[in-house]
Structures are given as C-alpha cells and as structure tokens.
Amino acid sequence: MARFLRLASASADTWHRNTDCDYSSAYVSLYTSSDLVGHGMTFTIGRGNDIVCQAIKEVANRLVGKEVESLFANMGKAWEYLVADSQLRWIGPEKGVIHIATGAVDNALWDLYAKSRKKPLWKLVVDMTPEELVGSATFRYITDAITPEEALAMLKAKEATKAEREAKVRELGYPAYVTSAGWLGYSDEKVARLTKEAVQAGFNHFKMKVGADRANDLRRGKIIRSIIDDPQYLPDGLAPRDPNGPELQGKNAGPTGAVLMIDANQVWDVKEAIDYVTSLKEIKPWFCRFIEEPTAPDDILGHAAIRKALKPHGIGVATGEHAHNRMVFKQLLQAEAIDVCQIDSCRLAGVSEVISVLLMAAKFGVPVCPHAGGVGLCEYVIHLSLIDYIAVSGTMERNVLEFVDHLHEHFLNPCTINSRGRYNVPNNSLEGYSIEMHKASIAEFEWPNGSYWAKVQGQS
C-alpha cells in the first residue's frame, strides 16, 4: 500500500532552486501473512509525489507472493530482483522516479528484515559477518571501482574492532551538523538567534545557504562566524575544540573549532561556481554541498574542475544529494571530483545500494556526510552513518551527519540529539529502520482526504 502524505509543517527555507517546497512523503507498507509489517518512504517536495506512489506500487508488486526468509537470505540479490523488471527499467534504468520508488520499497524490505530479527536496522547490519554484508550490497556496474573481494578484505580488516567502535558511539553519540540556522530568507536577527541556540545545544558544524546574492551571503556568513568563533557563546563547561585536531583537519575550523559549511543548491555554472565560492573564502567555508551542490548534480567533470580550482583556497567540494545511483558516485570518486560524499537515503535505491556507495567511499578515502533535510531523512540516515562508522570506514568525526529540527513528531521512533550536538544511537529492538509513522499522522495528512486537508479545503 503506497500513501501520499503531504505534511503541513514544511521548512521555512526559500531555496532559490526549490522555491515552492511542500514537504511530502510517498509512504509504503509491506504486509506479510504474519503480523510483521515493513514500512518505507521516499521524500519529495510536493507535486510528483503521486507519480512516485504509482511507481512504488509497480515495483512492490514484484514482492507479492515471495517468501520473506528467502529474500532476507541474500538482500543483494533481492535488490537486483527489484530492479530487474525489463519494462520498468526502460523508464529508468536505475534513475528517476522508478529508482526513487525502488528505494522506498527496498527500505521497507530492510525495515521488515530488521523487525523480524528484533534489532534496529544499523545493529542488524553491523552484526553481519563481512561475507553477509558484502552479500547485502550490489556490485553491478561498479567492479571497476571496487570488487566484492576488495570489499570483503576491507570489512574483515575492521571486523575485530567493531565492538569497540559500537561502544564508543553508544557513549558519545554520532557527530551532527545543524542546518536550521542558515536558511535563506531569515532576517539577520533570526540567523544570529538560531546560531546561538545551536551553539548552546552543543553543535560544532553549521551550514548556511548561499548563491542568491554575494553581499548578502558574506554578511550572513560573518554573522554566523562571529558567533561560532566566539568562546563566550559556548555552553558552560565546554572548552573550545582544537581547530587543528585530527577530526577537524582540512575543515577551515575557526578558533573554537567550529566549522561553517555552505550550500549552493545547484545554482551555478562551473566557472561561476569557482568565482563565487572563491569570493566567500573570508568566511572560511569547509565545502560547497549538494543540494548544497555548486553545479548540476550529474556534471562529474564540472565538479572535478571546481574542486581543482578551489583546493588552493582550502575549500572542498561535496555532492550527492541528487546523485541518483551508485554509478554517479563511482565516477565522482574516480574523477577525484569530491572531498565529501553526500548520499541521500531516498534518492539511492535503498539500503543495499547505499552500502555499495559506503564501500566505494571508504576505499577512496572520502568521508560520507549524508543529506537529511527532509521528511524522515534524519530517522533514516543515523542508521546508515552507524553502519559506515562501525563496519565500513571506521571513522565518524569527519563523517558529520546533517540534522534538522522539524517533522520528527510524525514518527514512532524519532531521532534524538544529545547535549553534545550528536545523534543518539537508536536502541529500540522493535523500531527497524525507524521510519514507521503514527497512524494519527497518516489519518491527518494523507493527501487529499486526510482530516487536515479536508478542513483546509472546507475553509477555501
């Protein structure tokens, strides 16, 4: 069953490429002959969501009648089966609406798997043997970048120390960065207030949107820098971090160890991106990301050119929020086009493809900082980052994870942040992939017949 949920409390962001955001979710439930149910979703910003719902129904129909344990036995092969419908591939292949829909279905299947084993999804995956984890990924079209044998060797090298990393992240939490302070359209006073609140909440990485107006960007960036670089705003008892420490090297950290990140929303051509971002170097940004991206998401060589030009200025490049499959990430890594790999849990086709990208990024030594700016994405990506840290890359300080503070109230197991500005580790044995929504939220916001929309339409 695929549902179109259109949530009323959309972000206040006024993106210059996404100027009409209407936060929505295509939500799917996979039912079994038992009481076990798996839930998945993909995030959109409004119109088009009904098209995704229809595509989800087509993809999910391939699972009808399948025995779940046979699917769980090899999730990599289950994923390949989902993408193997020749007629559906024709309107992809492995990109666009069909790929987004496949992500929702694959995520629901993983949710089902984790719930059947009574583990949060991240724990299900990190408890796998290296062989099982390799078998859960897909290597089709990427063996020129990483082979299953190479991946197996990498995972085996990390196997003996997984328990140590798991204990550490359970104690400390997973490092996060905050987006909410730097939306376009906010007044200077609001930017300053939200930045101070984020510093007090323990955050050390801060992101702002750029690209609409250079002078405005510099002014806003200086406001944020003036706060995050000033020790007086730090929470009581928290000492400044060492800007030259190992977790902050190469990030243009200020005197308190704070990092400013900038988000360009695909707004520039290549040369324009180079010139514009170079002009912002006085606010010491770490990287230009995507949707934070400096140029078109599919322009591999354009990103490589931007990265090469910005490197002398100490500014890196990140992208991936709209990278629609593992092959795009493969090329970005092979072309040395990015400093940061930014996966999206709903743009890629589910957990199995995400694992493939995590493995490639680890081989190329590129940190993974997932995008999480929409409905349910924070709930999703904490699982993915924990898998990366504990089982794949073995590092988390450079793999900082996005956090936004809206729409968590719709989920049974919302993500939470601790006083250090870090994600808490999901620990409910029944939450699976943490994406199950409250029935009341579905009843209220399902489009177009939910009670909220009935009321709105009655008032119009």
SS3 of residue 402 by DSSP: strand
Give Cα separations from 163 to 126, 370, 394, 426 (angstroms): 9, 23, 11, 16
Please report how the helices 377-387 and 351-364 are oriented relative to each other, as an axis angle in degrees rounded to 10. Answer: 50
Nearest partner of 303 among 96, 217, 292, judged by Cα: 292
Catalytic residue ranges:
209, 371
Furthest-apart CA atoms within the chain: distance in Å: 62
In this structure, what token pair is assigned to residue 186?
């906010």
Beta strands in 22-173 (DSSP E): 24-31, 37-44
CB 177 within 8 A of CB 401: yes
Nearest to 192 by CA among 201, 181, 183, 184: 181
Distance separating alpha carbons of residues 102 and 348, to the nearest angstrom: 9
Q: How many CA atoms lie within 13 A of 60 on its CB side?
A: 28
- Which residue's structure tokens are 């680890």? 362
- How far is Cα 388 from Cα 270, in angstroms, rounded to an integer? 31
∠ CA 81-82-84, nearest 5°, is: 60
What's the distance, Cα to Cα, between the start and end of the chain in Å? 30
Distance CA 261, CA 238 (A): 22
Residue 312 gets which letter from DSSP? G
Residue 243 makes CB contacts below 8 A (sequence gap 6+) with 253, 254, 255, 256, 257
Main-chain dihedrals φ then ψ at residue 452, nearest 5 degrees = -60, -45
Cα 228–chain centre separation = 24
